Amino acid sequence: MRAVFVQTFVVLLLPVTIGTAADRPNILWLIAEDFGPHLGCWGTKEVSTPNLDALATAGVRYPRFFTTAPVCSPSRSAFMTGMYQTTIGAHNHRSHRDDGYKLPEGVRVLTDWLRDAGYFTANVRELPPELGFKGTGKTDWNFAYEGQPFDSDRWADLKTHQPFFAQVNFQETHRTFHAPRHADPDKVEIPPYYPDHPVTREDWAKYLDSATELDRKVGLILKQLKEDGLAENTVVVFLGDNGQSHVRGKQFCYDSGLNVPLIVRWPKAFPIPKHFTPGTVDERLLASIDLAPTMLAIAGAMKPEKMQGEIFLSDSAGTPRKYVFGARDRCDETVFRFRTVRTERYRYIRNFTPERPFLQKNDYKERQYPVWTLLPELDAAGKLTPLQKFLTAPTMPEEELYDVVADPHETKNFASSAEHQGTLKELRIMLEQWIEESNDQGRQLEPPELAAAKGATKTGSDPNAGSSPKEREKKQKGAKAAKKTD
């Protein structure tokens, strides 16, 4: 196992190769919220995703791409720094919104490194009016950022500021779903750990409808990129920020919570880098923290020595990963501590809070997830299968081990299987080693009163403040109003 984890950080000066705009490609990230790999090119039925399918055909699709957290704020804190959220103290969902917590010395967001390399940066909200929608501008980091992490929020600035790194964030697959009807609930394929019930089918169909709407908007962005003369010199990256917004998906450490789509299309104006073959599927294990150093390599900048992500494209690409790691900590008012390691064949999960039920109380899930409340109702009526009753059990197993090749839905736990003890011990050791070497800050749970306040440390604080420019503006307006009252 690579020794890339340290407990101290130093400020590094990045040696960069600064060229002209024509020497280096632009980079455009298209980020979907709460979205698993449920696209036509992944084989999903009852979804219409011609634009993303075409992007995959022209580029490379990565089916083994995993976020390091199954919920947005720790996941985004990780992939925007190239660091595990557990290493940098950003592991609890929507934490540090009112306490001024800063990143450890030497850790920076990707846009800061890219600006040093001569890139213009944008988190696009304002799109051409004819597109009919705006980007969300979501950041949602679990640390305080001083200054402006992006140079602009306007698409119109990109053409005149090259090379650029830009993001467009899409809300569609985040609840509440609100897309036009497309999928037939009777024809959707639902995972076996959910009850086959009209409520489940309707909810899954709405999720797929949201994916269809997401694809429509992505198509408009790609069309605009071409019309602006930017398509042939822009690397396009499509990804999800965490797994599907369903029970046992988002906020949980199964593939359904951590496996998200990644598609990369390389521009025609630039030589194709090593480890990239257009029109193929790349089966390498990748972690979302690998994006940051890979983007720096594309930009002609070296990876910071302490950055934990690994380059997966270009001459600087490292040895393919044998393991990817993930973690879940407090989400809203609900405390779990899960740690997980995934290989090409197996997923091992260690539950450090096994005395708590899977359906531990969570206001957000109870309001937004109809299957969350359906499960205990069906359980009380004796209408759940043994597999489905796992979700309503009063406790959780301390260890879980799944053969994800033979059992992609992770339904059969081999942790107590005699023939799997060798694999169990190997992955247990690798996970324990990662926890130590990465300096996992989640080994100590938050105090109960802080968890009950959803991470807020001051009376009247909004834990959701800072999740997007809209939320930040709301916070600023509230502060100004309070000041006038005083």
Catalytic residues: 72
Distance CA 397, CA 357 (A): 10
Q: Which residues contact 3 (CB under 8 A, 6 or more apart)?
A: 437
Q: Which residues contact 132 (CB under 8 A, 6 or more apart)?
A: 220
> Distance of alpha carbon 338 from its chain centroid, rounded?
16
Angle between helices 198-227 and 370-380 (to 10 degrees): 160
Indicate the SS3 state at residue 424: helix
Distance CA 347, CA 217 (A): 34
Indicate the SS3 state at residue 338: strand
Structure tokens at 112: 């800061």
Indicate the SS3 state at residue 104: coil
> Distance of alpha carbon 71 from its chain centroid, rounded?
7
Distance CA 1, CA 450 (A): 35
Lookup result for tokens 């020595």: 305
Residue closest to 110 by CA, chosen among 312, 304, 315: 304
Are residues 304 and 292 in contact, defined by beta-carbon separation less than 8 angstroms? no
Distance CA 438, CA 141 (A): 19
Considering only CA atoms, give the Rg of the chain: 22
Structure tokens at 379: 């359980």
Q: Quick check: bond before 176 cis, omega within 30?
A: yes
